[in-house]
Each structure stands twice: as C-alpha cells, then as structure tokens.
Amino acid sequence: MSGDGEWRQELDDKQLEDVRGLLVAVRATDGRPEVEPEGALPGEFDGGEHLVACVEGEVVGYAHLDTTGDSFGHQVAELFVHPAHRGRGYGAKLLQAVDERAAVGFRIWAHGDHPAARKLALKVGFERKRELLILHTDVKGADWPEPRLRDGVSLRTFVPGEDEDAVVRVNARAFDWHPEQGALTADDIRADEARSWFDADGFFLAEERGQVIGFHWTKVHEATPGRFDGERVGEVYVVGVDPAAQGGGLGRALTLAGLRYLASRGLRQIILYVEGDNAPALAVYTKLGFTRHETDVQYGR
C-alpha cells in the first residue's frame, strides 16, 4: 500500500473525487459518514491534513487528521478503508501512518463502535477515552407539549447574516467544557449555512431584553440505506443555554420547540448526540422518550 503522495493540506480535484467515492462506498456499508454525491466533503474533513492510500492505482483508504485539534488540544483523526478492501491490513497501516504523523495525545474516532476498529485500537495499545452516545426516538406517539417560557423570554428563528456572533457568544459559554462544540466560530456557522441541510426555520433562538440567551439548532439527515429504516431523520443538533440564564426550564423549552418543528416536517424519527458521561442531559432526554441507539468512541493512548 502506498499513498498517492504524502500527507496533504489540500486535495486536488481528482483526489477529492477519489475520496468522495471511497466515503460514499463506506456510507453504503456503515451508514456513515454523511457525504454528499457532489460538492464539499462533510465539514469534519475541512482543513487539517489528508492521506489517500492506494494499491496499484486504486484508492483503498483515506485518513484525515484535524491538526487544529479539539478544545483541549487533542488532534483528532478519522480513517476509512473501502469495504471491498477490508480484512487485508490496510486499516492497521493507515493507523500507523496517523500515529507517526499526529502529535502526542491525539484521539481517533471509531464511529458506531465498529468491532474491527475496536479490535485494531486495542491491539496497538489504545484505550477508550470518550463515548458519544446517539439517542433515538420515534415521533409517532410522542406527546411533546408547547414550550413554556418564563416571563420576559421569547422565541424566534435564526436570521443568517445577523445572528452568527450572538450564537457563538452563547455557545462559547454553554460549551466551554466540550471538546468540539466549544470551538464553534461565526465562520463555521456561515459555512454550514451554505450546506444543503441548513434550515434557518429550524434554528430557534431564545431572547431576553434583546439578548440571545439560548438556542436550539435542528438538522435533517437525508435517507441512508440500512440506517434508520432508510428514512430521513431529524436531529436535535445543538441545544445551548447561557449559564447565566439557566433555570426555569429554558433548555427544555428550546428542545421542545425543535422537536415539534421536526415532527411538523413529517419526520418519523429523531436522534441526538450526547456525551456518555453527561448524566443530567441523559436524564432530560430519557424523559422526552429518547433511548440509546449507537455509540461513537474516541480512542487514544
């Protein structure tokens, strides 16, 4: 196995299409990543460094290294092997390349806690550092009441070009503990506004005295064969509340607003991601009817 070059900061047009083809094949087998048939790769592959692995001119694997790292300074990697070329040691070679390239203390994702990824990680001495749970609920039969807001607080929807900075300010305060979410920037939001899934009508802001104090950003995923019954699925993408405004059920009200909106779009299933050790959030979502569906794991030394 060889790369079609070395680690690169950018993919040329051919490499981009090669990587897209590989990721589409991976998605057809594993249900992820959420790659589009054309256009930019998913946001998690923006920036950083890329390695495309080839055998006799055929792309068999791809690795991405986020060199900026998460909010705690850990570089974060992902690697993928084409389903038609698995079981031949290419994953181990890609992991070795990542290990040699990445800074000490890097983390690597295993989406869906895939058994092969788990086996490989443990074989090279990695251990589970973080669990990100995917919770799921059926819309049918759900009884989500209208959100109740305390006096002086109102809800409205996001206005592109006007609300990015306000959301970033709340987000930074709400997620100063979170490895990825706490690093959100206004440019990140603007980049997502250009993506096909972005929907300002499903982006709810809570205001008090003219200031944004919380938000619920929803998302809709297109159907993926073999995942969620091959249906489109809604997501409670991000719910953030300024710590100074917590209490009075604001987080619950924002969550309900988004859930009711996703249900109004005819979606039959809704998911969300939550840290495995976030007991308070798990308790809230359990009361709203969510149950554990999948687990993503970060491994590291």
Residue with the two structure tokens 């309900």: 256
Residue 241 is labelled as binding a ligand:
yes
Give me the half-sphere count of Cα atoms (radius 13 Å) on the Cβ side of residue 260: 12
Residue 252 is labelled as binding a ligand:
yes
Residue 294 is labelled as binding a ligand:
no
Q: Give the largest Cα separation in the chain, rounded.
A: 67
Residue 239 is labelled as binding a ligand:
yes
Residue 23 is labelled as binding a ligand:
no
Residue 246 is labelled as binding a ligand:
yes
Residue 230 is labelled as binding a ligand:
no
Residue 56 is labelled as binding a ligand:
no
Residue 284 is labelled as binding a ligand:
no
Residue with the two structure tokens 């706490």: 182
Residue 45 is labelled as binding a ligand:
no
What token pair was written down for 295? 């687990």
DSSP string for residues in 84-125: GGTTSSHHHHHHHHHHHHSPTT-EEEEGGG-HHHHHHHHHTT
Residue 265 is labelled as binding a ligand:
no
Q: Which residues pair with 211 in a beta bridge?
A: 208
Residues 238, 252: Cα–Cα separation, whole Å: 13
Residue 15 is labelled as binding a ligand:
no
Residues 44, 19 contacting (CB under 8 angstroms): no
Residue 247 is labelled as binding a ligand:
yes
Residue 259 is labelled as binding a ligand:
no
What token pair was written down for 17? 């299409």
Residue 226 is labelled as binding a ligand:
no
Would you put residue 209 in left (φ > 0), alpha (ψ -120 to 50) or beta? left
Q: Which residues are annotated as a binding site?
A: 79-81, 180, 219, 235, 239-241, 246-252, 273
Q: Which residues are annotated as a binding site for acetyl-CoA?
A: 79-81, 239-241, 246-252
